[in-house]
């Protein structure tokens, strides 16, 4: 920060030729304290003028001599607020104006929105300390925020970011808060979410029957401590939606939550008051600690310790797993609740299983009464619902994002795609949906929106996309969709295309995965070929089969399928993805004599039916590595029916990680006629199982064999640039094995800001669309010959 005596600055300025300069700053510059930042520098340099938020960023005008204006400009740009992201900036001389002082002005322009949208920020250390300080006026205030923390995206109704455009517009500030708001040296100068105990956001505690118990924040907090101790479940309104909390050391409470939520085995995350308390139960690396303390406050998967000092009931929190998700409080209300109780709390999205997070107060009181014993609401409406983001770290500290939501959505920067005069809506995939929007040079990717087979998830897609288009004051002129004609999200895309008479293009699922990781790593213009390894559960293939174990080559701007895992029967459609026993039966069709190992997982009637079924010619085939891992998990006796998505693969990974021996042995996976054959691997695995090899060793050997396949395929094709995408690469064990084998020997590329799962599909659809446009320009062919039109 430039510091100069005010009198000295004024004297120098008076002796020089004064001009008027206009500065425009674009990016993530609203809701981060940028105007106060500018104001302080202007005041210290004794400059006159103004600063204002507008729909396209921050605008500034000053009176200054040329060298002073340059110094001011550098100071503003080079030392931005911590949460700011500057994507563009410019300064120009304009017609002379005279200003008597420097001020913050309201927006009076009607420009088209052109900026990054500020995400929600977790409570900062300053605010956390204030809520814990009995001498501070915000002591135990559940909604303490400042310029550096608090809700942003979840409460914004329109741009620019001003209190009157948020869901706090109805709440006037008290005199003390107004003084802070107008004090340039205060941490809450122009903080749009400012409030305190005097002008508190009204808060309410209800019973499950909807009866009001209290309106007093302190009484509510005291009651909650007693409720947790009694084993009760409390629904608490968070930043992005309602959460369900209960005592993580009370087995009965956790089992009650599972029963009421119809969630028999899916792991729960834990809320801890501090890193120190969490480290009593889990191993926390320096990378994991940094992720936990990030301003997004995500859930981070950490490995359980042999003994948990907090006596959490891990066997019902995360059955069959060696990692649990932990998080620190993202909001002061959660901080106060977990501090008061003194033990870790279960925290999970408040919803009916399979549906999006509940965020509306009336809906919470109606739908959560059968799950929660008590419900806490408050009068700050949530406009954009968001689950907690979830990630884990590799041994090298690389992030594997499992769910990109609160604190991470909706921006993507820098935008790897060329600016366009089109507004493109890429509708994404069916499972783990997240849509993408490119508007000119800006790129936005929605939060996780769930499985689009659910009506509630479809409504969440519509609500979120409409809200984002309204914020940006635009509408789509091009729509992209997955090629699968049966996907609800693809059908919705087709409806939008017909309703609005705009073109719709389809993109193959796995090509979108590959396009996404290429774009994330700046490889769309790569001069050398790139090998794309895309392994997941399912995607509609160009041959109308179910793909999922794919090797693509990207060269000369085109993506081509080169090799894939052997096809095996996809039994009963999507039912096989829910029942690993069917995947196992399908794979062992090649080894009839070995099928008896699976008989205990079926009833007599089922066994007779499926024995007849697998003798029939297969009408649908799959190459899915996801289903392959499901089959292995069943054959090894780990999981025969999934009670939640990915259960078998997650438990297989946990079992494999428990093997501590050195990995040198592997199963053969030969390549023949551009297919990776599975028969020899299956034969050897069954032999190992029958010979009594420990299950964890067999599981580790499977993953090691897959890791070796990466290098062998790279050598086979003569391509050392390797990019990975697909849900299988959420597996940290497999990722670590690949790194240990090939890091430094080959160039490995993974997702950075996005998940390898289907949340990246919308982004990947954009990548493929831009590749097709580029080829269209180079070849002068119509776009419909590059990407097939659906309508």
Q: How far apart are CA 558 and CA 428, in angstroms?
A: 21
Region of residue 432 (left: phi > 0; alpha: psi -120 to 50; beta: else): left
Which strand (E) or helix (H) includes residue 314?
helix 314-317
Contacting residues for 115 by C-beta, under 8 A, at least 6 apart: 26, 27, 28, 29, 30, 55, 56, 57, 159, 442
Mean pLDDT score across all residues of the chain = 95
pLDDT of the residue at 623? 98
Contacting residues for 324 by C-beta, under 8 A, at least 6 apart: 267, 268, 269, 270, 281, 282, 301, 302, 304, 314, 317, 318
State yes or no: cis peptide before 190, omega within 30 of 0. Answer: no
Beta bridge partners of 748: 722
Q: How far apart are CA 754 and CA 401, in angstroms?
A: 6
Q: Which tens digits make up the pLDDT trace of 91-103? A: 999 999 999 999 9
- Cα 289 to its chain centre, rounded Å, is 18
Residue 521 half-sphere exposure toward CB, CA atoms < 13 A: 20
**Which of 470, 415, 467, 430 has its CA nearest to residue 446?**
467
Q: How far apart are CA 754 and CA 751, in angstroms?
A: 6
Instruction: Specify the pairing of strand 399-403 against strand 282-283.
Output: unpaired
pLDDT of the residue at 12? 47
**pLDDT for 314 beyond 60:** yes
Q: How far apart are CA 757 and CA 755, in angstroms?
A: 5
Strands (E), 29-84: 48-54, 57-64
Residue 378: phi and psi, rounded to 5, are -155, 165
State yes or no: cis peptide before 414, omega within 30 of 0. Answer: yes
Q: Which tens digits make up the pLDDT trace of 452-489? A: 999 999 999 999 999 999 999 999 999 999 999 999 99
pLDDT of the residue at 355? 74
pLDDT of the residue at 351? 85
Alpha-helical regions (H) of 594-718: 604-613, 625-635, 647-657, 679-690, 695-717
Cβ–Cβ < 8 Å for 427, 436? no
Residues 683-693 have a mean pLDDT of 98
Cβ–Cβ < 8 Å for 307, 231? no
**Which of 92, 95, 97, 116 has its CA nearest to residue 30?**
116
Q: Which tens digits make up the pLDDT trace of 212-255? A: 999 999 999 999 999 999 999 999 999 999 999 999 999 999 99
Residues 74-87 have a mean pLDDT of 96
Q: Which tens digits make up the pLDDT trace of 20-34? A: 999 999 999 999 999
pLDDT of the residue at 786? 46
Q: How far apart are CA 480 and CA 498, in angstroms?
A: 13
Which tokens belong to 213?
């118990």
Residues 690-704 have a mean pLDDT of 98
pLDDT of the residue at 752? 97
Q: Which tens digits make up the pLDDT trace of 258-301? A: 999 999 999 999 999 999 999 999 999 999 999 999 999 999 99
Q: How far apart are CA 552 and CA 563, in angstroms?
A: 7
- Please state the three-class secondary structure of 755-789 as a single string: CCCHHHHHHHHHHHHHHHHHHHHHHCCCHHHCCCE
Neighbour-count burial of 676, counting CB atoms closer than 10 A to its CB (0-12 exposed, 13-18 middle, 19+ buried): buried
Residues 555-564 have a mean pLDDT of 97
Alpha-helical regions (H) of 350-437: 361-367
What is the residue whose two structure tokens read 């009607």? 110
Which tokens belong to 211?
């009866």
Length of the chain (residues): 791
Q: Which tens digits make up the pLDDT trace of 25-59? A: 999 999 999 999 999 999 999 999 999 999 999 99
Which tokens belong to 563?
């090799």
Q: How many Å is the maximal CA-CA distance in the chain?
A: 98
**Which of 275, 330, 285 has its CA nearest to residue 150?**
330
CB neighbourhood size of 230 (10 A) = 11
Q: How far apart are CA 620 and CA 485, in angstroms?
A: 16
pLDDT of the residue at 653? 98
Region of residue 692 (left: phi > 0; alpha: psi -120 to 50; beta: else): left
Instruction: Specify the pairing of strand 721-725 against strand 390-393.
Output: unpaired
pLDDT of the residue at 2? 43
Cβ–Cβ < 8 Å for 590, 679? yes
**pLDDT for 750 beyond 90:** yes
Strands (E), 294-430: 299-304, 323-327, 345-349, 374-378, 390-393, 399-403, 423-426
């Amino acid at each position: 920060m430039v510091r100069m005596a005010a009198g000295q600055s004024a004297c120098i300025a008076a002796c020089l030729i004064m001009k008027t300069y206009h500065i425009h700053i674009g990016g993530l510059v609203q809701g981060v304290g940028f105007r106060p930042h500018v104001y302080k520098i202007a005041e210290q340099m004794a400059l006159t003028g103004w600063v204002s938020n507008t729909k396209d960023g921050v605008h500034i005008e000053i009176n200054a001599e040329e060298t002073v204006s340059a110094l001011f400009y550098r100071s503003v740009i080079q030392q931005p607020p911590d949460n700011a992201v500057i994507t563009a900036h410019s300064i120009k001389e304009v017609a002379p104006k005279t200003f008597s002082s420097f001020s913050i002005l309201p927006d009076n322009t009607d420009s088209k929105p052109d900026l990054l949208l500020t995400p929600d920020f977790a409570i900062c250390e300053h605010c956390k300390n204030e809520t814990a300080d009995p001498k501070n006026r915000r002591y135990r205030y559940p909604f303490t925020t400042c310029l550096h923390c608090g809700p942003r995206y979840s409460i914004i109704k329109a741009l620019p970011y001003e209190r009157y455009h948020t869901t706090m517009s109805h709440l006037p500030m008290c005199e003390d808060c107004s003084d802070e708001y107008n004090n340039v040296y205060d941490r809450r100068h122009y903080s749009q979410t400012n409030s305190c105990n005097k002008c508190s956001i009204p808060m309410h505690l209800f019973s499950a029957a909807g009866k009001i118990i209290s309106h007093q924040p302190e009484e509510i907090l005291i009651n909650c401590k007693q409720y947790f101790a009694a084993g009760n479940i409390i629904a608490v309104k968070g930043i992005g939606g309602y959460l369900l909390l209960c005592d993580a050391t009370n087995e009965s409470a956790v089992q009650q939550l599972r029963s009421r939520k119809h969630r028999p085995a899916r792991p729960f995350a834990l809320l801890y008051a501090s890193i120190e308390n969490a480290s009593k139960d889990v191993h926390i690396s320096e990378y994991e600690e940094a992720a936990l303390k990030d301003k997004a406050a995500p859930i981070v998967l950490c490995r359980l310790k042999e003994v948990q000092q907090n006596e959490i009931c891990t066997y019902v929190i995360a059955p069959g797993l060696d990692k649990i998700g932990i998080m620190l409080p993202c909001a002061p209300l959660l901080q106060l609740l977990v501090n008061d109780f003194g033990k870790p709390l279960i925290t999970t999205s408040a919803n009916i299983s399979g549906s999006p997070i509940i965020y509306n107060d009336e809906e919470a009181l109606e739908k959560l009464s059968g799950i929660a014993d008590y419900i806490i609401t408050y009068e700050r409406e949530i406009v954009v619902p968001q689950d907690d983001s979830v990630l884990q770290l590799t041994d090298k500290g690389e992030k594997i994002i499992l769910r990109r939501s609160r604190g991470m959505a909706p921006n993507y920067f820098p935008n790897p795609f060329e600016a366009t005069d089109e507004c493109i809506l890429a509708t994404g995939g069916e499972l783990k949906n997240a849509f993408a929007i490119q508007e000119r040079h800006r790129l936005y990717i929605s939060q996780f929106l769930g499985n689009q087979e659910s009506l509630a998830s479809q409504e969440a897609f519509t609500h979120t996309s409409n809200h984002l288009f309204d914020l940006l004051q635009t509408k789509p002129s091009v729509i992209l969709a997955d090629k699968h004609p049966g996907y609800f999200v693809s059908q919705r895309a087709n409806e939008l295309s017909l309703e609005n008479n705009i073109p719709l293009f389809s993109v193959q699922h796995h090509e979108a995965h590959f396009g996404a990781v290429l774009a994330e790593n700046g490889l769309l213009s790569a001069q050398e070929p790139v090998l794309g390894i895309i392994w997941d559960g399912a995607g509609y293939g160009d041959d109308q089969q179910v793909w999922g174990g794919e090797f693509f080559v990207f060269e000369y701007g085109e993506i081509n399928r080169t090799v894939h895992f052997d096809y095996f029967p996809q039994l009963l459609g999507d039912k096989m993805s829910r029942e690993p026993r069917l995947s196992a039966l399908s794979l062992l069709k090649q080894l009839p004599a070995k099928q008896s190992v699976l008989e205990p997982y079926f009833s007599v009637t089922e066994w007779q039916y499926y024995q007849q079924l697998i003798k029939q010619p297969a009408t649908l085939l799959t190459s899915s590595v996801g289903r392959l891992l499901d089959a292995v998990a069943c054959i090894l006796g780990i999981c025969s029916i999934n009670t939640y998505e990915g259960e078998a693969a997650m438990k297989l990974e946990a079992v494999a990680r428990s093997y501590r021996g050195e990995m040198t042995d592997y199963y053969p996976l030969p390549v023949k006629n551009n297919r990776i054959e599975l028969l020899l691997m299956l034969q050897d695995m069954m032999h190992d199982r029958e010979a009594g090899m420990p299950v964890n060793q067999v599981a580790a050997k499977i993953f090691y064999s897959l890791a070796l396949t990466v290098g062998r395929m790279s050598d086979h094709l003569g391509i050392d640039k390797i990019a990975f995408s697909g849900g299988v690469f959420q597996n940290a064990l497999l990722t670590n094995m690949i790194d240990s084998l090939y890091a430094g020997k080959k160039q490995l590329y993974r997702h950075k800001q996005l998940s390898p799962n289907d949340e990246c599909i919308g982004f990947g659809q954009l990548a493929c669309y831009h590749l097709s446009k580029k080829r269209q320009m180079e070849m002068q062919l119509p776009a419909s010959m590059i990407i097939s039109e659906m309508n």
